[in-house]
Amino acid sequence: QGFSGFPAGKQPVVRIPNTFFTELLPAIDDLAELKVTLYCLWILNQKQGELRFTRLAEIEADHLFMQGLAGADGDALDALKHGLEMAEARGVLLRVKVWPTTAGQGETEDWYFLNSEHGRAAVERIRRGELHKLAEPLPEDVNLQAQRPHIFTLYEQNIGVIQPMIAEELRDAERRYPQNWVDDAFREAVELNKRSWRYIEAILKRWAAEGKDDGRDRRDSTEDDSYEALKRRYVPDEYKDIIEH
């Protein structure tokens, strides 16, 4: 469908930071991420007050936008969720998890703030437990918690900037493995100076296949602490031939 042009007269303006065009636009290569990012910039620009956020349900209710978001398979909701995940992984959006105070009643949902000075300040106040000091009252039956996948933090601290294409793999690993396994796998990789997600993933897969009880938690003073023994215990098979002495 063609575009007939912008109408004459004064039109509402959406403020988009210059950094969107100089840093984000050249880096975004996923259509769903681009559309969702632009939509969030537009809808959050209309918000007022301390808590300027949007929700998946709010975006999903915009039927015109959802029609344009549907991909070849026609699943617009999946495309929306994917776009939000990519935008969060890239650092454009900050996610806050909301859940009912009454256990077992209602479902959790995610609220998304723009990663701007204002958005960061609001999320930080939520983290500090200062929600009651914010201007707008919230429903009494919800709690809020600043939410960012723990594995994202580990990756950024030990490997580097998260690329959107790796974000889903990190989420899958966090769902698949216990948190202490993920922590330990990152620790092992750092100790061996193998700061690679593929290396860490191989450690987790080995523990899942062979059991983690053969690792450090069962070591005692009688065990062999030689370099070769450590390598046999912790280094995935596919990496053993490239580990230097």
Could you list the mean pLDDT of each consecutive 10-residue stretch along the chain, which spans 245 residues?
81 87 90 94 88 89 89 79 89 79 61 90 76 49 51 81 78 87 91 91 92 52 46 53 48
pLDDT for the residue numbered 150: 72
| Domain range annotation of the chain | 18-148, 152-240
CATH number for the region 152-240 comes to 1.10.10
Number of helical (H) and strand (E) elements in the chain, helices listed first: 13, 4
| Residues 6+ away with beta carbon under 8 Å from 87 | 33, 36, 37, 40, 93, 112
CA–CA separation, 51 vs 72, rounded Å? 35
Q: Cα separations (Å) of 179 from 33, 99, 133, 182, 187?
A: 28, 21, 33, 5, 12
Nearest to 206 by CA among 229, 222, 184: 184
CA dihedral 127, 131, 109, 61 (to 10 degrees): -130
pLDDT for the residue numbered 197: 93
Amino acid type, 90: R
pLDDT for the residue numbered 134: 52
pLDDT for the residue numbered 228: 55
